Amino acid sequence: MKKSILFVLISLIISCKQSADQKKVEAATEQKEAPKGPAAFFAELQAKALQEPFEGVRTENGKELDLFPIRSTGVSTKPIQEAAENFLGTLTEEQLGRTKFAIDDDEWRTWCNVDNGIYTRQGFSLKEMDPAQKKAAFNLMQASLSAKGLALSKDIMKTDQTLKELNNGSDAYDEELYFFTFMGNPSETEPWGWQLDGHHLVINYFVLGDQIVMSPVFMGGEPIITTSGKYKGNSIFQDEQNLGLAFMQSLPKEQQKMATLSTSKLKDDAKAQAFKDNLILNYEGLPVSMLSESHKKAFLALVAQYIDNMREGHRQIKMEEIEAHLDNTWFAWVGQTDAEAVFYYRIHSPVVLIEFDHQRVVGVPNVDHSLPSRNHIHTVVRTPNGNDYGKDLLRQHLETHHH
């Protein structure tokens, strides 16, 4: 009897231990398989992207070479240099420590167009600045951008204030949560640049001598037209939207058909946003070489809506570069073409990639979030074939000067 009781007790102990061990395994499995939170998801995306050496946006045929020679443009960058030096001169040692990086630092590639809190940004934000520092920061933007580019940047920031109001003062949104970093030291001869990173506005700005590369640039907004609150009446991207649709509608039916990748617009279609520095993207849609002269003129006017955000002089240089490759440029479309259509379009050549995308609603509450809307727009401008962030110019400079 004693042996039987002992056997039963040992069996119960083993069974309990196995049950406990099984629960631990199941708990660990559940924890492992639990969906990642948004912050972890974007952190993982960034880490994976930065593991890849930078190559640049290119087609499956590989990177085209010798597109971006170091040369004199004849357009001075001195005002930009002076504005940057003045801004940096207002910062404390602690602020400089958070704001300055080496010219080849991964900080260039460390940006993301999502809400604050979901993504942790580097640098020094407008919200932290005193009035003199804010003035110096906007003076740098004014020296670097056109009047259109500066006004659009400020209007994009306003949409974040509107989202804050619509979301009960959420810390995820704020018109001043835009962060500045600097790579290298402002110079007349050595490469340097600055980055502005925040929700719906990212500008990467590289300077070498009197050459500028302003890409990647991400600009977006939600709501597109503000109907309440502090910035009631604020409106953005109406020209980019309406001129894009008007251009598509003006094409002959056969060319519209060639340009259209899909008539169905049920999702977000932008390809070249954050963490897509090495995107493989083939030319698709309608070759611009097939356009009539009047349609080529209208097409260039559409391109200019994005390039006109650059300061005068360098804006003209970039447009000339784009025109030189016009016969190897493509226009692609997703969506319908009626007056109220939601759509995506892409302009793609060896020297520029432009995307416009109506996105699903994210931040505006109490509306249908399942389908793309005219009230949420993303745009992207990139320099394909290795010259985003001025990387190709930097490579050539370093090779020549044996740094």
Mean pLDDT for the stretch of residues 213-237: 98
pLDDT tens digit string along 157-180? 999 999 999 999 999 999 999 999
pLDDT average, residue stretch 194-200:
98
Q: Mean of the pLDDT values across residues 271-296?
A: 98
303 and 352 Cβ atoms separated by less than 8 Å: yes
Span of 225-229, 334-338, 369-373, 398-402 with lowest mean pLDDT: 398-402
pLDDT at 403: 52
Mean pLDDT confidence for 368-372: 92
> Comparing C-alpha atoms, which of 232, 133, 115, 227 is closest to residue 174?
115
Confidence at residue 2, expressed as pLDDT on a 0 to 100 scale: 40
Region 205-226 average pLDDT: 98
Local confidence band at 131 (pLDDT 50, 70, 90 cut-offs): very high
Task: Indicate if the pLDDT at residue 58 is higher than 50.
Answer: yes
pLDDT computed for residue 258 by the predictor: 98
Tens digits of residue pLDDT in 133-144: 999 999 999 999
How much of the chain, in percent, has pLDDT values that exceed 90? 89
What pLDDT is recorded for position 175? 98
pLDDT over 60 (residue 189): yes
Q: What is the mean pLDDT of residues 52-70?
A: 97
* Mean pLDDT estimate for the chain: 92
Asked whether the predicted pLDDT for residue 4 surpasses 50, the reply is no
State how far the Cα of 278 lies from the Cα of 263, in Å rounded to an integer.
28
Q: How high is the pLDDT of residue 36? A: 72
Q: Cis ω on the peptide bond leading into residue 223 (within 30° of 0)?
A: yes
SS3 of the chain:
CHHHHHHHHHHHHHHHHHHHHHHHHHHHHHHHHCCCCHHHHHHHHHHHHHHCCCCCCEECCECCCCCCCCCCCCCCCHHHHHHHHHHHHCCCHHHHHHHEECCCCHHHHCCCCCCECCECCCCEEHHHCCHHHHHHHHHHHHHHECHHHHHHHHHHHHHHHHHHHHCCCCCCCCCCCEEEEEECCCCCCCCEEEEEEECCEEEEEEEECCEEEEEEEEEEECCCECCCCCCCCCECCHHHHHHHHHHHHHCCHHHHHHHEEECCCCCCCCCCCCCCCCCECCCCCEEHHHCCHHHHHHHHHHHHHHHCCECCCHHHHHHHHHHHCHHHCEEEEEECCCCCCCEEEEEECCCCEEEEEEEECCCCCCCCCCCEEEEEEEEEEECCCCCHHHHHHHHHHHHHHCC
Distances, alpha carbon 5 to alpha carbons 8, 13, 18, 257, in Å: 5, 12, 20, 84
